[in-house]
Every structure is written in C-alpha cells, then in structure tokens.
C-alpha cells in the first residue's frame, strides 16, 4: 500500500509539469520599437497558447487554439477581435513555441536577433455572427466585442503594404500583420 501511494505521488510530480499551465515573461528592457512586455501561457492539456502584449494603449492579446486550428487577437485600443485560420507552416507548434519562448528568455534574445517570420492577413469588414464555430476558447475571448474574420494574403501585396496594418510581433519569432478597414485609425 505504501509503495502504491509513493508511486502515485511521484507519477503526479512528473506528470504535472506536462499537463499544467505555465507562464513565460519576456521583457523588452527599454521598450525598444514599442513592443512592451510579453507573457506566454501554454496549456498543453487544452492545446492552447496565449500571448499577452502589455504596451499601454497598444496592448493586445492573442490566443492560438491548436485543437481547432484557429487563432484570435484582441486589440484593446480598437475594442475588437480578429480571428484567423492558423498557418501551421509559419506558426510554431505548441511544443516549439514553448521551447522558443524559453530560449528567448534564457538567452536574452530580442529585437536584435534574426528577423521574424511574417504573415499578412486581410480583415473582412463584416462582423462574425457565430463565434462558437471557432471553438470555446476563442468564443470566450471575443464574446462581447466586434469580431472579424481575416484571411491570409499569400505573397506581397502593394495595396496592403501601402495601407495601415496592425502588427503583432510575437516573441520576435513571428510578425503577423492585420490589414483592412477595421484596423485603420
């Protein structure tokens, strides 16, 4: 009986880190390029990653739902959400995001490192009627604010490059630009 209790306790000790939430904080010491401070929370049990970018009025939050293959960014200044399909070729897996975030924190990588991968999205100006089709996590995050669907733009587009876009630079590894009427000032 004692062996079973000890074994169960040790098993719980080793399994807990793989199932639990954890946070990684990344600071931009001098707020270079206006990026503020980012924190990453990963929940392996639910296959969700959350990145908070705290930068005053330009703060935003993004949620990557790996189980449903959708991501959303909540723009606090715009009081809106933008939902998009995850590009698994450019966006790191949940395991890779964990490793990259820890590597960036431990090695002090930041804006001076290699250029991040880039994705560009066109935001549809029509509001989304049913948030539930994107999964419970995104529906909860975007409920109560105008939500728009964005589609990835393949290749460079002069039209969108000349217009205003909202950029989310995630851990200096991925830069996602959202362009269209709902993000312009």
Tens of pLDDT along 113-165? 666 788 999 999 999 999 999 999 999 999 999 999 999 998 655 454 556 78
Does the pLDDT at position 12 exceed 60?
no
Domain ranges across the chain = 21-179
Find the mean pLDDT for residues 31-40.
65
Q: Is the pTM of this model over 0.85?
A: no
What span, in angstroms and rounded, lies between the C-alpha atoms of 174 and 22? 21
pLDDT tens, 52-96? 999 888 899 999 999 999 999 999 988 999 999 999 888 888 888
Measured CA to CA in angstroms, residue 74 lies from 10, 115, 146, 159 at distances of 40, 24, 10, 24
Q: What is the pLDDT of residue 124?
A: 93
Q: What is the pLDDT of residue 164?
A: 79
Burial code (b: 16+ CB inside 10 Å, e: under 16) for 156-176 equals: eeeebeeeebbebbbbbbbeb
At residue 9 the predicted structure's pLDDT band, cuts being 50, 70 and 90, is very low
| Residues sharing a CB contact under 8 Å with residue 140, sequence separation 6 or more, in sequence order | none
For 184, how many CA atoms within 13 A lie in the half-sphere containing its CB? 12
User: What pairing do the DSSP bridges indicate for beta strands 147-152 and 37-43?
Assistant: unpaired
Mean pLDDT of the chain: 76
Does the pLDDT at position 109 exceed 60?
no
């Amino acid at each position: 009986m004692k062996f079973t209790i000890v074994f169960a306790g040790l098993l719980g000790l080793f399994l807990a880190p793989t199932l639990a939430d954890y946070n990684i904080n990344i600071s931009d010491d001098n707020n270079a390029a206006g990026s503020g401070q980012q924190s990453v929370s990963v929940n392996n049990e639910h296959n969700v990653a959350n990145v908070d970018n705290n930068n005053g009025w330009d703060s935003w939050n993004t949620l990557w739902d790996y189980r449903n293959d959708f991501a959303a960014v909540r723009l606090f200044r715009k009081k809106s959400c933008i939902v998009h399909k995850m590009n698994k070729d450019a966006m790191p897996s949940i395991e890779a995001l964990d490793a990259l975030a820890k590597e960036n924190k431990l090695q002090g990588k930041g804006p001076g490192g290699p250029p991040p991968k880039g994705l560009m999205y066109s935001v549809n100006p029509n509001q989304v009627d049913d948030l539930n089709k994107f999964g419970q996590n995104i529906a909860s995050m975007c409920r109560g604010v105008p939500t728009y669907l964005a589609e990835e733009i393949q290749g460079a587009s002069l039209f969108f490059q000349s217009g205003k876009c909202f950029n989310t630079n995630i851990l200096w590894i991925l830069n996602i630009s959202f362009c269209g009427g709902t993000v312009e000032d």
